[in-house]
Amino acid sequence: MAEVVYGSEIAASIKNDLKQQMDCLRNAGKRLPRLVVILIGANPASLSYVRGKEKACQMIGMENELIHLPEDTKEQELLALIETYNKNTDVDGILVQLPLPEHMDEHKILLAIDPGKDVDGFHPYNIGRMMMGEATFLPCTPMGIMEVLKRIGYDDLSGKQAVVIGRSNIVGKPIAQLLLKANATVTVTHSKTKDIEKITSQADVLIAAVGKPRLIRSDWVKAGAVVIDVGVNRDENNHLCGDVDFEAVKEKASFITPVPKGIGPMTIAMLLQNTWNAYQIHEREV
């Protein structure tokens, strides 16, 4: 029977540490870290994500600004706004909520953010540094997964097989890179992979980032594996669930993250951590 690893608890302890840092700065009358979140349009999921980020900032006492622009905002207007925040020395982190409306070029927008304020870790400069194993802003979800592995004593994966299901730019590809850096032997699988369960059942560490409710059954999982479920889905009864058949897989794994209360809260905690890291770099540069 697996130990259930609640990312929500780890995230709460990280936020608590950050809150203490914010309290110290405030008591000393110093400038506080500031995160700017830009949302274009009214996608309900995006609205809920940015509100979650806003709430987390408020909870720890970090300065935050939510810029909500209409769907028909011109790309040029957004680029100009990003440039203003790039230059503003009171701003430490800039996050443009994805997805963007179709008339905007996502690559161009992400490229416009100052890499030193790219707290989402999506700028090609930061992705390049991550690929080379250098210190940089890491994308928040993969960073959160690595933090969970660290907390359960799995930060050195020498001799371990890690399998990632999914190859998106925001989860699958970067987590594969971070696992490699932690010395795992990494296999990335996706929708075109044949006999996927044969590959996943070799994994000492299995990361599911697919977006399909309960796709990963117990026969896909090696006994004693560490199973990290990134998926956030609704099942046929409209209940929130992950990519992993939690009830069955928890009988076989050694550690498993649940959905909800698993990797989701870690993603937000890592955004706050990245903003705090950016602040510290900016303060050293002053």
Kindly list the residues in this chain that would bind ligand NAP in the complex (CB under 6 A). 141, 165-168, 170-172, 189-192, 196, 209-212, 215, 230-233, 263-264, 267
Minimum CB–partner distance for residue 104 and ligand NAP (Å): 18
For the bound state, the minimum distance from the C-beta of residue 167 to ligand NAP, rounded and expressed in Å, comes to: 4
Q: Which two tokens stand for residue 246?
A: 């939690």
Catalytic, 76? Answer no
Cis peptide leading into residue 260 (ω within 30°):
yes
User: For residue 136, which amino acid is it?
Assistant: T
* 194 has catalytic annotation: no
Q: Are strands 255-256 and 226-229 parallel, antiparallel or unpaired?
A: parallel
User: Which candidate in 120, 204, 229, 243 is catalytic?
Assistant: 120
Is 30 among the residues known to form the active site? no
Q: Which residue is nearest to ligand NAP (CB)?
A: 168
State the Cα–Cα distance between residues 133 and 190, nearest whole angstrom.
24
Rama region for 55: left / alpha / beta (φ>0; ψ in -120 to 50; rest)? alpha
**Any idea how long the chain is?**
286
Q: Which is nearer to ligand NAP, 91 or 127 (CB)?
A: 127
Residue 139 Cβ, how far from ligand NAP at the closest point, in Å? 9
Q: Identify which of residues 8 and 21 has a Cβ nearer to ligand NAP in the complex.
A: 8
Report the C-alpha gap between 61 and 55 in whole angstroms: 10
Closest to 283 (Cα-Cα) out of 27, 89, 84 = 89
What's the min distance (Å) between Cβ of 87 and ligand NAP?
30
Active site positions, annotated:
53, 97, 120
